[in-house]
Chain A
């Protein structure tokens, strides 16, 4: 009987081991040649997208999660859209008719909208809808998750039916990105109190939701799928695909299996662990692009977090040394399997704010690290650990439990720093406990976490002394008067060239006085069935928010 049991177990083991029976497909990024011209769009068909969770609401005012935002992007038109490089532009699907005009005092934005844009119930989209949207987003009582992007609004007015003027409290060039909001119909919220907007049926009840985008909300079977149908009365440039279906898979393994089976055509993000399984499957292509998330190690400068109030990171040379002591390229190669980009500053490599010449290089150089530590007053003790003024160089590195990538980074950091005489103790905590207990109040010694960047490169609330906890997100208590002034200048000047120069100065200062060790941004992989086609300029752009759907309205599907 024991033998029978052993055989059963062994068979079960092997059942899981075998790869797909399909043949190896070495070229995974180009669509196959067909008898039909592959570059000519075809109208019609259904695109099935796999998603990991159901929508909460499609009301753009209250959206807080990716799934809801994904679907809402098809249903609601934006005032302005975003280009592949992250610039605010007028597209064939925007409500705005022409680029916005900025007043002489740089505080007012004038937007002219299309006169032919319509809601799904036939009524025209007017300036009143735009005014209502911006007033609601900037109303604190509503509690919109995106509030901080609209908090600088002083007043919003309509000038007739097709012109809107938004006035800010102060000059702020970051605001242009807030002009890309999804517009909601004022009529649907008539007589609704601001604090009740979050509880309104608009966004959860299909019958109560009026939309303006190229697709209408046709069906929603909870936790199973959402179906969108092309709107024949759509006022903008019509999309090729007739129907878009979001199919929900609670489990990532099942989602990947569904793609392999052909049940879904498009998978927004493939986890690195599943990449190998997908590479060999015939009919599936993978598109890789640099993503908007980067990981970092933050130093904490608050004496209260340290025994005897001694902050080992106080000296700039010490922090430079740590930057040189870490083998960050090794981390990208072994943890991300090469699917990542090294980062040396707080700006994405693909964005307009990055200036490579001004950025520190932080080469992996153990000898240089040791020399810098010595210059900063550290001497090795009897056990090999560095000592300064009687204090050992030992600290606790905190990160969130369950994140394999960060746990692997932490292990490498611990090893690299041990090689230069620094003792690192790793502590992992549950994310939702770590945020209120440690991150928000700035109670840690070193933190390994990540930021997801938006469109605007401004990071004042992360690095400025004006944003110490609990008001802001400078949880490391980093203080540098020079960069504090530069961050503010960064959004007080309005031309792109001027802003870029300011951020280059910040990069230079960070090279001397680093607040973090910047690690790397991960590449995001999109996997799709080869029946999905796009022109080169319409390919997904992972660095911008929801960029995996960039120009999806121009894509087409074949049989």
Chain B
């Protein structure tokens, strides 16, 4: 196992390096730059050159990349072009805010969706199953931002029950209760949209397991239905779900840009969009690398959990293989 982990770790470093190379190249290849965002009459081109120089953008690209890389491995993400803010000051608070929102939404959607999906698989086409299907299709077809605005219109404007946006009220910074009050709407939006997929996966996976021969055998033996579901079928049904969970992990970090924008939640998704518009390369790279790290961790966790949950799977040097 440890040999497997070490191998994966080395692979990850290589992958991260390649990701940084490609991202850096793509960002710099995109037309426009931080100095060309605003064009006014009488803007002199000499000033654009000076600004580019002050930002360090007139150096050859491999020098720029090397400079960025050598700082990054030491933990220094650099500074923004405008006003020279340390990138860490922008990214770490945004990461914390996104984690608060997305982890809550993710855990809630799992706690609701998986049991509900599994319950529905045992009572197919009943009222609960049909309701779940409606919710699932609605959640999958609705654009998140539209749903978010609708919720705002209804619960905040018309009913005046919940706040419109932001994390805290102006005078209540840092108060947990106020935070929870502000989280209700965005978490509801994220849960309803995200729950859709998981309910269907859980249901489908459980149905497939329940159709297997060994389940039939267990029933024939006279095992109680509860024991059949919880002791025999559940663990097997969870295998594909576990894989999906691992792959979903980066989503917690990347944030939901549109939802964060509508609710003015100062998270990673919004930060990335704002900085992409402003062509702040150092922040874009920092966010990309952080998400990349989580993608790799997510994949690793998914692979390991897969081996844990399914005894047939043995982690070899090359990765998980099914017997």
Contact = CB atoms under 8 A, between A and B. Distances in A.
A257 B274 CA distance: 22
Contacts of A253: 149, 262
Nearest to A463: B41
A1 B42 CA distance: 64
- Among B32, B79, B261, the most chain A Cβ lie within 10 Å of the Cβ of B32
A223 B134 contact: no
Interface stretch (A137-145, A230-238, A374-382, A516-524): A137-145
Interface stretch (A97-105, A296-304, A320-328, A453-461): A453-461
Interface string A423-458: 000000010110111011000000000011110001
A141 B43 CA distance: 16
Nearest to B142: A12
A23 interface: no
A222 B156 CA distance: 23
Interface string A389-428: 0000000000000000000000000000000000000000
B123 interface: no
B54 interface: yes
Given A436-B33, A462-B41, 9 more contacts: A4-B130, A8-B138, A141-B50, A149-B42, A222-B90, A251-B149, A432-B32, A432-B36, A432-B37
B133 to A, nearest CB: 6
Contacts of B44: 147-148, 151
Interface in B83-123: 83-85, 90, 93
Given A1-B133, A1-B134, A224 B264 contact: yes
B205 interface: no
Contacts of B154: 15
Q: How large is the interface on B (under 10, 10 to 19, 20 to 34, 35 or more residues)?
A: 35 or more
Interface residues of A, number: 71
A437 B31 contact: yes
A254 B263 contact: yes
A119 interface: no
Contacts of B130: 1, 4
A471 B48 CA distance: 11
Interface in A128-157: 140-145, 147-149, 151
A506 B84 CA distance: 44
B47 A147 contact: yes
Contact of B41 (A8, A144, A451): A451
Interface string B179-198: 00000000000000000000
Interface of B: 31-33, 36-47, 50-51, 53-54, 79, 82-85, 90, 93, 130-131, 133-134, 137-138, 142, 145, 149-150, 152-154, 156-158, 160, 164-168, 170, 173, 260-264, 266, 270, 274, 279
B41 A251 contact: no
Given A224-B166, A451-B41, A461-B42, A5 B138 contact: yes
Interface of A: 1, 4-5, 8-9, 12, 15-16, 20-21, 53, 56-57, 59, 62, 64-65, 140-145, 147-149, 151, 195, 198-200, 203-204, 221-225, 227, 245, 247-251, 253-254, 257-258, 260-261, 263, 430, 432-433, 435-437, 439-440, 451-454, 458-459, 461-462, 470-471, 473
A16 B153 contact: yes
B133 A436 contact: no
Contact of A452 (B40, B45, B142, B264): B40
Contact of A459 (B37, B41, B145): B41
A5 B133 CA distance: 9
Contacts of A20: 157
A253 B263 CA distance: 10
Contacts of B37: 64, 432
A439 B270 CA distance: 30
Nearest to B130: A1
Contacts, number: 161
27 contacts: A1-B134, A4-B131, A12-B150, A20-B157, A21-B158, A56-B83, A57-B82, A62-B83, A64-B82, A65-B38, A142-B50, A143-B50, A143-B54, A144-B47, A148-B44, A151-B44, A199-B83, A200-B84, A204-B85, A222-B93, A257-B157, A257-B164, A432-B31, A432-B36, A432-B279, A451-B41, A454-B41
A436 B36 contact: yes
Given A149-B42, A198-B54, A221-B173, A261 B134 contact: no
The 4 closest A-B pairs by CB, nearest first: A199-B84, A432-B32, A223-B266, A57-B83
A141 B54 CA distance: 8
A470 B263 CA distance: 43
A513 B70 CA distance: 58
Given A432-B36, A470-B45, A250 B83 contact: no
A203 B83 contact: yes
Contact of A64 (B38, B42, B85): B38
A326 B85 CA distance: 49
A5 B41 contact: no
A15 B158 CA distance: 11
A187 B281 CA distance: 32
Contacts of B43: 148, 473
A430 B36 CA distance: 13
A258 B165 contact: yes
B100 to A, nearest CB: 14
A225 B170 contact: yes
Contact of B47 (A15, A148, A436): A148
Contact of B262 (A195, A251, A470): A251
A151 to B, nearest CB: 7
A258 B270 contact: no
A16 B31 CA distance: 38
- Among A16, A20, A144, A147, the most chain B Cβ lie within 10 Å of the Cβ of A147
Nearest to B261: A250
B134 A5 contact: yes
B107 to A, nearest CB: 25
Contact of A9 (B31, B41, B138, B263): B138
A4 B263 CA distance: 29
B133 A250 contact: no
Contacts of B31: 430, 432-433, 436-437
B170 A245 contact: yes
Contacts of A151: 44
A433 B45 contact: no
Contacts of B93: 222
